[in-house]
Amino acid sequence: MTAPNLRLNALDDLLAAERSFRALSESRLRGLIEVLTELAYRMDGEKLEAARKNDPTAPRSWTAETWSAFFAGQRRENPAWSGADDGLRQALLALSAERDELRRRVFELDQQLARPRLAAMTAETLAGDVRPAERRKSPPRPVAFDPLVSAAYAGLPEELAEFQPPPVPAEFQERFRLGASVTPKDAQANLRRRWMTLRILASSGIAPAVEYYSLIGRLDGISQRAGSVMRPIEALAEQAHLIEWQTPAIPLVGSTLTRLTLIRLSADGRQLCSQVGWQPVESEWERLIRLHQGDQQEHHTLAVLIFAAHARLRGWQVTVLPEIAGTSARPDVRVEREGEVLFVEVETGTRQHAGNGKWNNLAQLNQGRIALCARNVAERGTLVEDCRRLGSGLATDLETLIAVKMHQVEPKDSLWAVTW
């Protein structure tokens, strides 16, 4: 192995280690914020909920000073609390500083790696180490969207087909910087896909990352599993910190876990979108957290968002936790396709509902029909038996839906596994 390659490998190893340390630091910071959030709920839950209504990113986006101000009132009302929050504030400040320093070091290492990689690429090109077939590769062709799918995404495919990225505001330019080894053509595509992601998030609030891969991949005529589709979204989260992401898991059958990466705008991401004229809507993920204790009921949150994604890919327009005039009832999902409207309950178990009140309310909303999504085939069977005597209905389950990979789903595929 040559000396330059040894240096590149050493830098790669160092970068991997720094990223690992950063991930650990951010995990510790999230843990501390979870403790603070739980404490805040116990001390003044109403005040915290009021803050979340004003800012859906609260309290995740709060600084140490914001937390200190929140707890200041508790010191006045409860002298025993005096001084206790100071230690938590100092811990939050220390972890935030540690995370920021690690982010800086990772960025610097990225830059150090970019220069020798560019030199290596240039040397290979001069030596003729570029396959002729790669030079002659035909440009990708966009994939047409079915009108039902386009409607399910509120016309976004048509809007994004002619999408032109806005200028990057000065204070955010560093976050969009790419390595020196990236070609101008790849840099243009990467920048465009980052902005497309932000545009979709701001206007729709869709949470599953796989839907972004699908939309952007089809619009650009490449596989949704291509690294060039996934990397821009990863960069928005890991380098630019304009989006936040998590990959929660839900057991569908036995202990087998199904995972789905969810994304939402960070506080900085919301600020950037507002600056370029895109007023961000509340995301599906944030809405479940605000209205349905989504951060405490992770399995149910994930189940709702998996169902929502599969419904959209089958041409159904989706609203998570819809507001219904004249009633306090708030079913999990509203779906609509070609004039057919259904309110759907997503269940992650088979528990009985007192007096079947939940199913009766759902039947009233659906003109006598029940629509439900269970976790798996077995639980669907149990729930359907419970509901049959109450009227007609439709049912599906996550196990059946995910049996068809998302990139293979077509609008003609039925959303429902059984009707009665």
- Whether residues 95 and 27 share a domain: the answer is yes
Give the CA dihedral 216, 219, 220, 226, nearest 10 degrees: 40
Domain membership of residue 302 as a residue range: 282-419
Q: Any bridge partners for residue 346, and if so which?
A: 373
Contact 415, 314 (CB under 8 A): yes
> In whole angstroms, what is the distance from residue 241 CA to residue 254 CA?
36
Specify the amino acid at residue 50: A
The answer, yes or no, to whether residue 69 has pLDDT greater than 50, is yes
- Whether residues 133 and 2 share a domain: the answer is yes
The answer, yes or no, to whether residue 262 has pLDDT greater than 90, is yes
More confident residue, 44 or 399: 399
Q: Give the model's pLDDT for residue 129.
A: 40
| Mean pLDDT comparison of 125-134, 189-198, 252-261, 323-332, highest-scoring range | 189-198
- Whether residues 157 and 123 share a domain: the answer is no
Nearest to 300 by CA among 333, 334, 336, 254: 333
- Whether residues 15 and 118 share a domain: the answer is yes
- Whether residues 147 and 275 share a domain: the answer is yes
> In whole angstroms, what is the distance from residue 183 CA to residue 18 CA?
26
The last residue of a domain, from among 280, 310, 339: 280
The answer, yes or no, to whether residue 286 has pLDDT greater than 60, is yes
What letters, b where the CB count within 10 A reaches 16 and e where it falls short, cover 195-220? bbbbbbbbbbbbbbbbbbbbbbbbbb
Q: Give the model's pLDDT for residue 133.
A: 44
The answer, yes or no, to whether residue 59 has pLDDT greater than 70, is yes
Least confident window among 43-57, 228-242, 344-358: 43-57
The last residue of a domain, from among 80, 102, 137: 137
- Whether residues 318 and 242 share a domain: the answer is no
List all residues 6 or more positions away from 32 whose beta carbon is below 8 Å from its beta carbon. 88, 91, 92, 95
- Whether residues 52 and 94 share a domain: the answer is yes
Q: Give the model's pLDDT for residue 104.
A: 67
The number of folded domains in the chain is: 3
Give the CA dihedral 196, 231, 151, 324, nearest 10 degrees: -90
Q: What is the maximal distance between C-alpha atoms in the chain?
A: 77
Q: 3-class DSSP state for residue 390?
A: coil
| Mean pLDDT comparison of 187-201, 215-229, 285-299, highest-scoring range | 187-201
The answer, yes or no, to whether residue 408 has pLDDT greater than 80, is yes
Check whether the bond before 59 is cis (ω within 30° of 0).
yes
- Whether residues 13 and 120 share a domain: the answer is yes
- Whether residues 23 and 151 share a domain: the answer is no
